[in-house]
Structure 1
């Protein structure tokens, strides 16, 4: 039985060797696609690693600005209780923000769906809220001539063909557009309006 295995293996190896030699006659050109695939794979792995490292380093350096603080809590349909507020205030500085969706209307009856963010005096805890005209947020939101001011996303100004000084209605209230938002520290998704809290 051993002699049968040895004799049957001989022609198989000779055939394989003959195919290998025939493939090598053309030189290493047949390996070009194989080498290109390996190069593309190595480049893809390296780029994924570099991208992951850049995202991780960016979040470590700018995480507080992106979040607007060290920690963020979200409640729906209710305010903080006194016990919750006392607990959070004991841990550090607290800034409360309220948000809602509404419809903004202009005097010539143009309208747009907007996100409103009402902020308190401590906002922002981390980073800087910059307005295009360079004033402070407190000054932009202050009440003048019976109307509170609002800081507005420039995209909303362009959509409704408005400018600083114009008036916009939200619900039954009218607000004066004080300025456009140039940079917002905790802006993850586009916000349209910052209003006094």
Structure 2
């Protein structure tokens, strides 16, 4: 018997809203031929890219977003500068921002630096300031949390790509494309 629930992994492009209705002239999910009746399980900001999970399973969305379940989410973050060990440690400890103290997280410099397709429009490049790709794994998801955390330690985010939610990885899914996955691909049973 086939489940009535659908689970969709979508590689959200830069500049696209994580909703089906366009606002302020920004494109939305309705332009990507996604199945009807599904909704985003969480959000990615308009200026973030990567894995967005969509489903029609409301109980699953609630479980996925409930902080008490602490499901990991990993991000590749291109930051301005070359973070020092102290900055990486402060980031992992969860630097306070806007009166909020995030939970500790996992942080590492990606070595070698990943080959990522160029973003359209391209990121801001400064000739005299290098940039570095790091990976951050969180178990919570406040609004613009990764960007606020990197800024708090002096390494502003230039580009942000969500690579995984739970066990589900973006892998080589092209930007703007989607694939159907199973519930078991996302979280352990």
| Shared fold per TM-score greater than 0.5 | no
Q: Which has the larger Rg?
A: 1
Name the TM tier (shorter chain): under 0.3
Indicate the structure whose relative CO is greater, using CA pairs within 8 Å and at least 6 residues apart. 2
**Comparing both structures, which one devotes a greater share of its residues to helix?**
1
